[in-house]
Amino acid sequence: MILIGLTGRNAAGKTTAAEYLKGKGFYYKSLSDVIREEAKKRGLEATRENLIALGNELREQYGPSALSELTLATMQKDKNYVVDSIRHPAEALALKKAGSFSLFHIFAPVEVRFKRTLARKRTGDAKTLSEFIRLEEQEFASSNAAAQQLFECERMADRKVENTGSEEEFKRKLDQALKEVQQSFARPSWDTYFMDIAKQVAARGNCMKRKVASIIVLEKRIISTGYNGTPRGVKNCNEGGCPRCNNFAESGKNLEECLCSHGEENAIVQASYHGISIKGATLYSTYSPCLLCSKMIINAGIKRVVYNEAYPLHETALKMLKEAGVELAELKV
């Protein structure tokens, strides 16, 4: 997912930039839409001053990144987005964590921007240059951590795109900025890619204690998956199939009474069930393997194990895997 964030002062050209990027296949989101929706619920007129005050209130109540987090919840990872109305550093930081993010500072001089506001005739826009400047100065910075901090957003922008000439010239500058974003676009590593899949597989686990999954990969191809739960034909753990797990037994105790198979175990057994060799493969697991699963990994000929989190009882297992020549890697995703 590529995210392009837009920040800038009133009438700098953010809407024009957003419309142009929409034409390039980016889906549009505006943090202001969250504020406008709240204003609608409260019966408030959507004037600039009302929206600024309401945005500050929402950040103060739910945290400075609240608008970004609410907007991110509506996004899909297989799409690219342009996000307008970023007015607080925490909003930009939240977006940066979500994908390949670049913040564009859309810039135009104050006199140019004031003329644009007069031409568009929006409700609540300033009627004089002095009033325009006064309203704008309220947005630059504030001692209130939840208030708009446009100046700080502009400072942390990855790229500055000037909009002082014609619309065609502005679009050419946006194209250049997009090329720079394309050059810096980062794809996940193969290990991260497969671990992300393993974490999705874990959601199918039916064990009441914890959800764990493994996938087995050979030559960058998934050949088997497994998640933890009761054996085929036995009532699922989450339906009461395993008394130990359903009684939430103390971790590490009475393991011999647990009816659930582990994710690594199921992935290996599934490959065997379908007659697929896993010799020389890599196993990705959301937890490091236990002692029993480690024995199976070694004897199955798996040569590499990548795990996301350390299993509480893993030291002996990891020592044995190393002794057997199995490569180990911990990868936090």
Report the distance separating Cα 33 and Cα 29, nearest Å: 8
- Active-site hit among 264, 315, 323, 327: 264
- Give the torsion sign (CA, 240, 242, 244, 250): negative
Burial of 37 per CB tally in 10 Å (0-12, 13-18, 19+): exposed
d(CA 137, CA 313) in angstroms, rounded, equals 58
Does residue 250 have an active-site annotation?
no
Residue in the block written with tokens 């194990």: 305
- Are the C-beta atoms of residues 270 and 225 closer than 8 Å to each other? yes
The span from the CA of 148 to the CA of 88, in Å, is 5
**How does DSSP assign 237-299, residue by residue?**
GGGT--HHHHTTPPTTSSGGG--PBPHHHHHHHHHHHTT---TT-EEEEEE---HHHHHHHHH
* Residues known to be catalytic: 264
